[in-house]
A and B are shown apart, each in its own frame.
Chain A
Amino acid sequence: MTAHDDLFGSLPEIHEDAYARLRSGLAERAAGDGLLDVAYRTVDTPVGALLLAATPLGLVRVAYAREDHDAVLTRLSDLVSPRVLHAPARLDAAARELDEYFAGRRQRFDLPLDFQLSHGFRRAVLSHLREIGYGRTESYSVVAAAAGSPGAVRAVGTACATNPLPVVVPCHRVVRSDGSLGRYVGGAGAKQALLAMESAA
């Protein structure tokens, strides 16, 4: 503001609830008009706040807090579309399934997924990961062989580290041949927590 703050500062502000309704109304209308290219929300979980983002095709990104949610949204704006809006209702199903998973009441996710952020061998790895069942683990070399390139153990590590859909596509179930956990996009603590939870169920 430049001048006359005394005057315009006393204009009534919109009520918080009314403004929140306006914003969620915008997201709904955008979705209805086919303009909501990326909808997102966050959910609180035992491994921290997870960002969930979806295109009209399905869930496109799950991100841990340590990945920096703002940075992830900026990347989505670049890679998918800048038409990005906070639209929690569009992600109700995903949020519910994650809640059930973390409560120990769900062993596999039944959600449409959009794999547009991963290509080639990495994508082949991710589709194999979906076949590793709840509570089981596989070594990087077994995954490499299953994805069609037995020698590509390092590339499997990269595919896991760049998994755009952690938790839902269970890269946490891939461990080292010596049984140690190996690295994880959500941090070693999160990997350990997920595996402990799954083996206890």
Chain B
Amino acid sequence: MARLPGVSLPPFESVVAEHGRAVFRVCRAVLGPQDAEDAWSETFLAALKAYPTIRPGSDVRAWLVTIAHRKAIDGYRAGRRRPVPTDEIPDRAGVDGVPDGPDQALGEALGALPFKQRAAVAYRYLADLSYRDVAGLLGGTEAAARRSAADGVAALRRTYQQEETS
């Protein structure tokens, strides 16, 4: 693969090592535990395919989240035709074969948010994207992205803290 001299991309493995877990947290928050693994795999496979063409020095995290966002939209549309993944028995085995801990309540509270708030919260607080990037992904203004994230966090605090004290 011919590249300009002095222009260098790190091996893709180091991209996975650096961003893989954050992207998984995003997939899980936006899509729920059932679809997160597929979305993660689809995201990194698409990223691997496109990787040789990205401009060195670009924001790889934001690029990955953009791909994950498109996969999430696809997954979300497909998911709406299936039972909602939050209607689950709380002490079921997790997708990874071990029971999820009590903090699954937070995951479920996230899952109960409207899509835009959930995505705004995930991209801002789990992937550490700027509000400008979040707005670019969700459409609308930076102020609207900020509001979605704030509304999402407020709703989470209400639900989650209620569950904690109940």
Contact-residue size bin, chain B (C-beta under 8 Å from the other chain): 35 or more
Complexed CA–CA distance, A13 and B37 (Å): 13
Is A81 within 8 A of B24, CB to CB? no
Complexed CA–CA distance, A19 and B60 (Å): 20
Is B12 within 8 A of A12, CB to CB? no
Is B45 within 8 A of A30, CB to CB? yes
Query: Chain A's interface: helix, strand, loop or mixed, by majority?
Result: mixed
Complexed CA–CA distance, A8 and B96 (Å): 20
Complexed CA–CA distance, A19 and B49 (Å): 21
Contact-residue size bin, chain A (C-beta under 8 Å from the other chain): 35 or more
Given contacts A84-B12, A86-B13, contact A29 B40 (CB under 8 A): no
In the bound complex, residues from chain A placing their C-beta under 8 Å from that of B115 are none
Is A35 within 8 A of B45, CB to CB? yes
Is A14 within 8 A of B153, CB to CB? no
- A1-30 interface bits toward B, Cβ cutoff 8 Å, 1 = contact, 0 = none: 111100110111111011100110110011
Chain B residues proximal to chain A, CB less than 8 Å: 1, 3, 8-14, 16, 20-21, 24-25, 28-29, 37, 40-41, 44-45, 48-49, 51-52, 94-98, 100-101, 103-104, 106-107, 110, 124-126, 128, 153, 156-157, 160
Chain A residues proximal to chain B, CB less than 8 Å: 1-4, 7-8, 10-15, 17-19, 22-23, 25-26, 29-30, 33, 35, 37-38, 40, 73-74, 76-78, 80-86
